[in-house]
């Protein structure tokens, strides 16, 4: 069990590292995500071919999975866009609202009642975002884009929950990233027209960062994540995932000294969001203890 938890925390830490790499890459967010998905998809096809993990699916199912992959690519695009327009800390702070957003969005998808307690926590987190916005107006565009990114990742999660039955995690990942690459490739000309850029090819160290982003922070973390899921419950996974923004922000402070460019109210706003997240965690822990299942 210890090794499974170590693998899980390593995966979450590496996911937190993606923001730092995104800032280091000189490409704009559109081409950054395109190259990331290209390298990842090609690498996965080669890797899964040798591991004999490729499974054929119908065109209808591929289109469903590819649609989710396209939404995933838009999540990544807006996430890195938030970093480019603001910084890593702002982007990850917006992303930290994901758990609370899902408590509001999921009931709409699955036609369940919205939990009043979760709604209050969502408003608490919204107050934190508002405080950060008001006191860091120079990053306002990044905050807007970051919140869109948070909503999109919740949509991906909800869509995956509806699709996951009948497919292995490897099959969903392979076709989702492949479909996302194809979908983004179709949308990219429109994006380039709206947000033109001269630089389309990675420069110098960009190749290294993209390979690390694709191999270590996407493929390797996927393997760690899947292996951890075999021994660790989904409940423990969801609690651990809340640490991703925390890891990422700490790394941004250490590597880029972003704490020096943020107002003191950023920390107060982020603190409000963390309080809401932790209160939600404690509520889930309390509910979990009532269930006759494994403690982990």
Range from 32-36, 62-66, 224-228, 281-285 carrying the lowest mean pLDDT: 281-285
For the chain, the domain total comes to 1
For residue 186, is it within any domain?
yes
Tell me: pLDDT of 30 over 80.
Answer: yes
The confidence score (pLDDT) of residue 164 equals: 60
For residue 82, is it within any domain?
yes
Per the structure, the complete domain to which residue 7 belongs is given by 2-289
For residue 230, is it within any domain?
yes
Torsion sign over Cα 71, 77, 80, 83: negative
The confidence score (pLDDT) of residue 213 equals: 96
Higher local confidence (pLDDT), 255 or 101: 255
Tell me: pLDDT of 289 over 90.
Answer: no
Would you place residue 111 in the very low, low, confident or very high pLDDT band (cuts 50, 70, 90)? Answer: confident
As a whole number of angstroms, the distance between CA 34 and CA 61 comes to: 23
Opening angle at CA 42, ends 36 and 45, nearest 5 = 135
Tell me: pLDDT of 295 over 50.
Answer: no
β strands within the chain, DSSP E: none
As a whole number of angstroms, the distance between CA 152 and CA 7 comes to: 26
Query: The pTM is what?
Result: 0.89
What average pLDDT does the structure give for the chain? 87
For residue 295, is it within any domain?
no
């Amino acid at each position: 069990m210890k090794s499974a938890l170590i693998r899980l925390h390593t995966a979450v830490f590496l996911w937190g590292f993606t923001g730092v790499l995104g800032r280091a890459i000189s490409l704009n967010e559109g081409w950054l995500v395109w190259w990331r998905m290209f390298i990842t998809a090609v690498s996965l096809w080669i890797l899964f071919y040798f591991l004999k993990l490729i499974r054929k699916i119908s065109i209808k199912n591929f289109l469903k999975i590819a649609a989710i992959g396209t939404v995933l690519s838009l999540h990544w695009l807006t996430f890195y866009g938030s970093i480019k327009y603001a910084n890593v800390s702002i982007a990850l702070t917006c992303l930290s609202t994901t758990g609370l957003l899902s408590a509001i969005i999921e009931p709409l998808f699955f036609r369940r009642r919205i939990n009043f307690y979760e709604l209050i926590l969502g408003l608490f987190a919204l107050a934190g975002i508002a405080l950060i916005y008001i006191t860091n107006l120079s990053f306002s565009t990044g905050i807007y884009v970051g919140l869109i990114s948070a909503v999109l990742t919740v949509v991906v999660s909800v869509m995956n929950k509806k699709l996951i039955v009948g497919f292995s995690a490897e099959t969903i990942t392979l076709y989702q990233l492949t479909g996302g690459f194809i979908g983004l490739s179709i949308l990219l000309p429109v994006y380039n027209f709206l947000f033109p850029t001269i630089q389309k090819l990675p420069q110098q160290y960009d190749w290294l960062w993209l390979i690390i982003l694709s191999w270590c922070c996407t493929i390797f973390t996927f393997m760690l994540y899947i292996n951890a899921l075999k021994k660790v419950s989904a409940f423990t996974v969801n609690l651990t995932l809340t640490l991703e923004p925390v890891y990422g922000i700490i790394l941004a402070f250490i590597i880029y000294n972003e704490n020096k460019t943020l107002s003191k109210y950023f920390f107060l706003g982020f603190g409000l969001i963390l309080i809401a997240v932790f209160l939600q965690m404690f509520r889930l822990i309390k509910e979990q203890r009532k269930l006759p299942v494994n403690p982990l």
